Amino acid sequence: MRRLLKSGIRRIAGADEHQNETLQPTLPRGQRNATVVAVAAQKGGVGKTTTSVNLASALVRNHGLRVLLMDVDPQGHVYTAIKKQVHPGGGALSSILTDERGGREVMEIVADTVLDGLDVTPCDPRLSGAEDLLGTRIGKEFILRDALQITRTHYDVVVIDCPPNLGNLTLNALVASDFVLVPCDPSPLAVNGVDALIGTVSTIANRLNPNIDILGLLMTRVDGRNTTLNQTVRSQLEAAYGEVMLDVDIGINNSLSQAQMAGLDIFEFDPRSRGAKQYTKLASMVNELLNG
Ligand SMILES: Nc1ncnc2c1ncn2[C@@H]1O[C@H](COP(=O)(O)OP(=O)(O)OP(=O)(O)O)[C@@H](O)[C@H]1O
Ligand SMILES: [Mg+2]
């Protein structure tokens, strides 16, 4: 029985070797080595997409970086937010993540944009079904990391906009990432959400991705009029995560939501707005942290 099993294993392994030969990635390696940044928060509506889009855009516009903006959220809000700036083309990320044969690369499905240096993954509602399918695959946490192996050699930074939960897609994003940027709005429940995410990141650091680190905690949608609530939340966060709180806040700014509705980044929609200035500052800080 053991002999039969062994020869069976040799046969299956042989078949796999052969299959790998035919699945050698055809994409050429680039000369870069991207830092991968996941923008993640368990809580919905805290500005993950707004931050991902405008951070990615500012890194291209002001720092001359080549950036891939990935949308792993089935809601597809990245595309909605900058649809006027995305060229037609690209494909479905879900087809890369659920391809049983493996060896596929995210780069195969990206679309380019009006900004030279910014590529995006198009919106893909089938990511929702992919989330369930991922759960059934062996090594399910590493699928996105593997699909970025060659892709990341073509970019300086990969920014991943995550869905508002800690499911398989967020897990894949975190395992593929070097850093996590955590947006947090000044609401009473914000601190719980940050605790849950940082707990998940430290479990991932212990078990799946020892390289992951927190890039920073970013206060978003700060309402200048509600100073008492702002101060309460800020002091709770500072007590727990003072070291990683970023020295820039994103205030409530209607231009940011209007830009999203118009399908343009804030720098195209209203470059003189407060939102544009604050995201410019954030990108400079992130650029320094990534280089330091
Ligand atoms: N600083 C801001 N000022 C005003 N409106 C904002 C600001 N940031 C985000 N918004 C608006 O708030 C809403 C939620 O923002 P966004 O989509 O970025 O959050 P999210 O965390 O990605 O949400 P989800 O959890 O659904 O993915 C959007 O309508 C957006 O335009
Ligand atoms: Mg979003």
Q: What is the pTM assigned to this prediction? A: 0.92
Helix, strand or coil, per DSSP, at residue 157: strand
Residue 8 is assigned to a structural domain of this protein:
no
Over residues 11-57, the pLDDT tens digits come to 544 444 444 444 445 789 999 999 999 999 999 999 999 999 999 99
- Residue 77 near ligand 1, beta carbon < 6 Å: yes
Ligand 1 neighbourhood includes 97 CB (under 6 angstroms): no
The CB of 42 under 6 Å from ligand 1? The reply is no
**Domain coverage including residue 178:** 34-291
Number of domains comprising the chain: 1
**How far is ligand 1, taken at its centre, from the CA of residue 281, in Å?**
19
> Which residue ranges of the chain lie beneath pLDDT 70?
1-25
- Please report whether residue 97 resides in a domain: yes
Q: Which residue has the tokens 């947090």?
A: 184
Contact 127, 73 (CB under 8 A): yes
Q: Which token pair is 123? A: 């919106």
Write down the H helix ranges in the chain.
2-22, 48-63, 77-81, 93-97, 127-134, 143-147, 168-176, 190-207, 227-241, 254-262, 266-269, 274-291
- The residue contributing the CA closest to ligand 1 atom 23 is 45
Residues present in the chain in total: 292
Residue 262: CB within 6 Å of ligand 1? no
CA–CA separation, 242 and 115 (whole Å): 35
In ligand 1, the atom with minimum distance to the C-alpha of 220 is 1
Residue 154's SS3 state is helix
Instruction: Report the atom number in ligand 1 closest to the C-alpha of 164.
Output: 25
Q: In this structure, are residues 72 and 170 in contact, taking their beta carbons and an 8 Å threshold?
A: yes
Report the CATH number at residue 241: 3.40.50.300
Residue 275 lies in a domain: yes
What is the model's pLDDT at position 15?
Answer: 45
Pocket of ligand 1 contains residue 253 by CB under 6 Å:
yes
d(CA 227, CA 82): 32
pLDDT value of residue 227: 85
CA-proximal residue: ligand 1, atom 28 (nearest): 257
Least Cα distance to 96 among 121, 68, 113 occurs for: 121
pLDDT score, position 10:
55
Q: In what order do the strands lie in the sheet with 67-71?
A: 111-112, 118-120, 67-71, 157-161, 35-39, 179-184, 213-222, 245-251
Tokens coding 258 = 């209007």
Confirm whether 227 is domain-assigned.
yes
> pLDDT value at position 160?
98
